[in-house]
Structure 1
Amino acid sequence: MIEKELHIVDHLEELRKRIIISAVAFIVFLIVGFTFAIDIYKWFTKGIDMKLSVLGPSDILWVYFMLATVIAIAGTIPVIAMQIWLFVRPALRPKERKITLTYVPALFFLFIMGLAFGYFIIFPMIFSFLLHLGQDMFIAQFTAEKYFQFLMNVTLPFGVLFELPVVVMFLTSLGILNPYVLSSIRKYAYFVLAVIAVVITPPDFISDFIVTIPLFVLYEISISLSKVVFRKKLKRQQKEENERNVYEQGGAIK
């Protein structure tokens, strides 16, 4: 009983260490984001023909903080992924450690790809649609807070959703998920993804379709990759079991 409690305490201490490292990394990248906030601001606003306004001094700080937070999230993702891998590494076999380690950079690149998809494809489509919708009724004047809030609400979800394949592969490696479970809940997953697409896009069928299809494709890719990982895991377990049986039989003969 005492050994079990000590084991739990060790795990909690290790978890605390990983959380602290991730938090420190986030703060460091947040500072970096603040340092380059002006350059990031100019890059995000170069495509609009108007100068954004602020309604008060606090809005300026809010914009700096929002831009810095995006940089901090993007930079901290591989750090968090690495800390998660280090936390679960003792429970993994040597081959599993090598395989799952490759997921760390993949998470970062997929997050960036998701942001790029949201920013270069989805955001211009939604932004143009809304401007066209109100061009005969309103004079378009945007505050920096509203503009960047809208921008982040459109792009950040895609950064998260594009990581789905790697997350599924990692959970399959740990035995938490398998392709059969993912296939069995496909219709529910499609429904959730369709709702997400409808919520973040303009109220027209074309926009919903353009966003929904990539999300469905991501889910199917996740299932396919889960199958690959699951089959390799089964083969590895079967091979180890055969080797153990041969060893036990050899020992029995002796």
Structure 2
Amino acid sequence: MAKKNHSEMSFLDHLEVLRWVLIRSTIAILIGATVAYTYSEFIFDVIIFGPKSGDFVTYRFFCDLATKYNLDQSFCIHELPFSIQNRTMEGQFSMLIWTSITAGFIIAFPFILWELWKFVGPALYEKEKKNIKYFISLASLLFFIGVAFGYFVLVPLSINFLANLTISSVVENQIDVDSYIGLVKTTSLATGLIFELPIVIYFLSRMGVVTPKFLRDYRKYAYVIILIIAAIVTPPDVISQGIVTIPLIILYEISIFISKIVNKNRDAKTA
């Protein structure tokens, strides 16, 4: 049977295509999860529990920075004041499986993008279809940079802040393994997705949902939110807060620029 043209496909046909996109993406995630499971010892000992060590690269970087410029010395530590424990029989097995799946999603992300592009591709212009390799490369790069930024910057800053926050000397920090790993996974993955903001803005601008004017009008509110987040997770010095704030502001400004280009091209084609 001849393949249907995109414009001739019914709603159910689109759902069938989407179903296979989800199936293939799930298979890719499971393959990535299997690879992660094979190297689970390295993932947990070196990656997941790395930020718990006072010798972690981020703490050493901030300590050297603070020493050089005579700033806050809270990152010059040898050991963080908390221990990690498992309090449920199936806890470690559950963490092993879900951490492998999360790692599988990160590994399979470029393939998932490829599948999503094939799904929305028929609705795009021919020139946009030809740029698929640039889209996949850029979107994947932004995602991996975001995951790295979350893991190497936000995760250790958050762990250091929360581990040293005490309401009383009576309370000891004995952190459940599910809580600790949840912080590492959620922060890293969420930051990776946040770094996809320029890509999301591109498609929203194409659909007319977002305009450069809208992004510029709400710029000050976006900046305030970014500054609040940076102030919470960093020590009270300008350099540390700038390391968190500047990349997010640059990301927002890039999104405005992308929206401007998309709207300008759409207006030109309409005219």
Q: Normalising by structure 1, what TM-score?
A: 0.74
Could you say which residue in structure 2 is the equivalent of 1:102?
A: 134
Q: Pairwise mapping of residues 61-210 of structure 1 onto structure 2 (< 5 A)? A: 61-134=93-166, 137=169, 138-173=171-206, 176-187=209-220, 189-190=222-223, 197=229, 201=233
Matched, 1:24 2:27: yes
Q: AA paired with 2:248? A: L
Counterpart pick for 1:53 among 58, 81, 85: 85
Q: Judge which range, 219-228 or 132-141, deviates more.
A: 132-141
Number of aligned pairs?
234
Computing the radius of gyration over CA atoms, which structure comes out larger, 1 or 2?
A: 1
Aligned to 1:219: 252
Letter in 2 for 1:92: L
Maintained 8 Å contact 1:96/1:173 = no
Conserved? CA contact 1:100–1:173, under 8 Å: no
Describe the shift of the 1:8–1:94 C-alpha distance in structure 2 as closer, same or farther (beyond 3 A): same
Larger mean CA deviation between 84-93 and 199-208 belongs to: 199-208
Distance between the aligned counterparts of 1:88 and 1:151, measured in 2? Answer: 32
* Distance change (3 Å), C-alpha of 1:10 and 1:91: same
> Matches of 1:157 and 1:199 in 2, distance apart?
19
Question: Which has the larger share of helix?
Answer: 1
Structure 2 length-normalised TM: 0.70
Partner amino acid, structure 2, of 1:112: F
The aligned residue for residue 34 of structure 1 is 37
Name the SS for the 1:97 alignment partner: helix
CA distance in 1, matches of 2:151, 2:9: 48
Deviations 1:44-63 (A, max 9, x none): 22452587432233111122
Sequence identity percentage: 31
**RMSD of aligned alpha carbons:** 3.4
Matching of residues 223-242 of structure 1 within 5 Å:
223-235=256-268, 237=269
| Deviation, structure 1 residue 209 | 6.8
Corresponding residue for 1:248?
Answer: none
Report the CA distance shift for 1:229/1:127 in structure 2 as closer, same or farther (over 3 A): same
- Any stretches of 5+ residues in structure 2 without a counterpart? 1-6, 54-78
Deviation at 1:202, TM superposition (A): 6.9
Number of the residue aligned with 1:244: none
Unmatched 5+ stretches in structure 1: 242-254
Tell me, in whole angstroms, the C-alpha distance in 1 between the residues paired with 2:13 and 2:186.
39
- Matched-pair contact (CA < 8 Å) for 1:100–1:170: no
**How far did 1:191 drift?**
5.7
CA 170–40 in structure 1, closer or farther in 2 if over 3 Å, else same: same
Of the two structures, which has the highest relative contact order with CA contacts closer than 8 Å and spacing of 6 or more?
2
For residue 34 of structure 1, report the CA deviation from its aligned partner.
1.9
